[in-house]
Copies of this chain bind each other. A is one copy, B any other.
Amino acid sequence: MESNKLDELWHRYEAFKNRGLKLDMSRGKPEKAQLDLSLPMLESDYNFISEDGIDVRNYGDTTGIPEAKRLFGELLGIPANQVIVGGNSSINLIHDALTRALICGPMEGDTPWARIPRVKFICPVPGYDWHFHMCETLGIQMLPVQLGASGPDMEEVERLALDPEVKGFICNPMYSNPSGITYSDQTVDRLAAMKTAAPDFRIIWDNAYCVHHLYENDRDSLKNIYEACAACGNADRVLMFASTSKITFAGGGISAMGASPANIARHTALLTYQLVCYDKLNQLRHTRFLPDRAAVEAHMAKHAQIIRPKFEYVLEVLDSELSGIGSWSRPKGGYFICYYAPDGCARRIVELCREAGVTLTPAGSPYPGGFDPKDSTIRIAPTLPPLSELKLVMELFPLAVKIAAAEKYK
C-alpha cells in the first residue's frame, strides 16, 4: 500500500477513536427488541396443572412436564419420551452429561472417564468457545479438526475416532458458531456410521440454532442424526441438545436433551438424585406461549425480522469495503458472521478495534486454548447492538482490517 493511503487510513482511524465510543460486539446476545417479543409469556393464567395433572409449582416430573417434552421432541426430531427437559441452560445439560460420563460412565458398567488416564474429544474448528473452555475445565483434551463448507474434515474425524482415548465429538451442527455452516447429509451419515474405537463414544450435538433461520425461503436443513445413528445400530452414540435461550429469554429459557431410550434411562437414573426437579413453572410458561413447532417458527420469523437487516448490513460493508482482503461467511441463520482475515492479522484487528472503543470477541477464541494457528478467524456478532450502533462498528472494522493488513503485508 502506498504510504499516503495508509496515512489516510490512520487518520480516519484516529478520528473514530477520538469520538470516545464504547461498543460491545463480543457475544451472541439478543437485543432488547428480541427479548420484548416474549413478554406475553410472562402473563400467567394461574392454571398451574400440567397435562399429567401435576401442580408445576410443587415437586415432581424430574425429567420435565409432558408438554415441554413434546415441544422439544418436535424441535429435536425425536419422540417426546426420549427427551429430558431441563432448566434455562443447554450448556449446563451438556456439562451434566459430560460430568456423568466422567464420574459414573456414559452407561452402567462403562468405566468412568475420570478413572482413565486421558480422555480426548474431536472439536471442529472454528467452534464455540464455551465448548472448548468446558472441555478444558473438565480435563478433556481437544483435537481440533478443520470445518469446511459441509462440516468437519471427515477423513480426519474418522482417523481420530480409531484412537480408543477419543471418547467424543462436540459441535454446533447447524448455523455453527461462529462459521455459520450446516453439516451436510453426508457428514451426518458418516458421523453416524463411522467406526469408533471407544464403544462409549458420544457425539455432543449442540443444536443451538435449530430454528434460527434468517430467511423464510432460503434455509439450511440438517439431517436427523439420531435416526441416522439408529439406522447404523449406533442409537446410543448421540446426545442432542437445544434450548429456547435465543427463542424466548437468554437469561430465562428452558433447555432439553434428546437421545436413545437407553441414554435417557441412564441420564434419568443419575438425574434423579442430582435435583428434585427443574423449574416446571418456566416449562409450563413456555409451552403455553409456544405450544408446538409451528408456534416456534412463527415466533422465530419475528426474530429474523429484527436481526436480518443487521446481518445484511454487515455483509454489505464487507462486500463493498473489503473485496479481496480476506473472506467471510454468508450465513442463512444463527448468530454470527465469520470474517477470515489475511493470515496473521486477526489479533491485530481485534486490538485496533478495542483501542478505538469497540470490543470484539477475542481473536483465537473459536479455537481450543485460544490458539488460531493462522491468526485469521474473527467472530462478528451483529445481534446485540441496535442497527445505529452496528453502523458505527462497521465504520471502524474495515479500517482496522486494512491497517492490520497493510502493517503485515507492506
Contacts and interface: CB of A to CB of B under 8 A. Distances in A.
Interface of A: 27, 29-30, 32, 35, 38-39, 42-44, 46, 48, 55-60, 87-89, 91-92, 95, 99, 102-104, 112, 114-115, 130, 133-134, 136-139, 245, 249-252, 270, 272-282
Contacts of A46: 39, 42
Contacts of A56: 251-252
A44 B89 CA distance: 22
The secondary structure that dominates the A interface is loop
A379 to B, nearest CB: 15
Contacts of A273: 95, 130, 133-134, 136-137
Nearest to A28: B59
Contact of A103 (B35, B38, B114, B249): B114
Given A104-B137, A275-B89, A55 B42 contact: no
Contacts of A133: 272-273
B281 A58 contact: no
B104 A103 contact: no
For this chain, the copies found in one complex come to 2
B281 A95 contact: no
A91 B60 contact: no
Contact of A91 (B115, B136, B139, B276): B276
Nearest to A281: B252
Contacts of A60: 251
A114 B57 CA distance: 36
17 contacts: A27-B59, A55-B251, A56-B251, A57-B249, A58-B250, A89-B276, A95-B273, A95-B274, A99-B99, A103-B103, A103-B138, A104-B137, A104-B138, A104-B139, A112-B114, A134-B274, A252-B280
Contacts of A27: 59
A27 to B, nearest CB: 7
A103 B100 CA distance: 10
Contact of A139 (B30, B103, B278): B103
Most buried by B among A32, A137, A273: A273
Contacts of A99: 99, 103
A48 B280 CA distance: 21
A266 B400 CA distance: 37
Nearest to A249: B57
**3 closest cross-chain pairs (CB), A and B:** A252-B281, A114-B114, A133-B273
Contacts of A88: 87, 277-279
Given A46-B39, A95-B274, A114 B102 contact: yes
Given A60-B251, A138-B103, A251-B57, A91 B282 contact: no
Contacts of A136: 273
A57 B114 CA distance: 36
B274 A59 contact: no
Most buried by B among A55, A58, A91, A95: A58
A195 B112 CA distance: 32
Nearest to A112: B114
Contact of A251 (B38, B130, B280): B280
Contacts of A43: 44
A278 B139 CA distance: 23
Nearest to A32: B55
Nearest to A134: B273
A9 to B, nearest CB: 34
A386 to B, nearest CB: 13
A114 B138 CA distance: 12
Contacts of A251: 55-60, 277, 279-281
Contacts of A57: 35, 38, 249-252
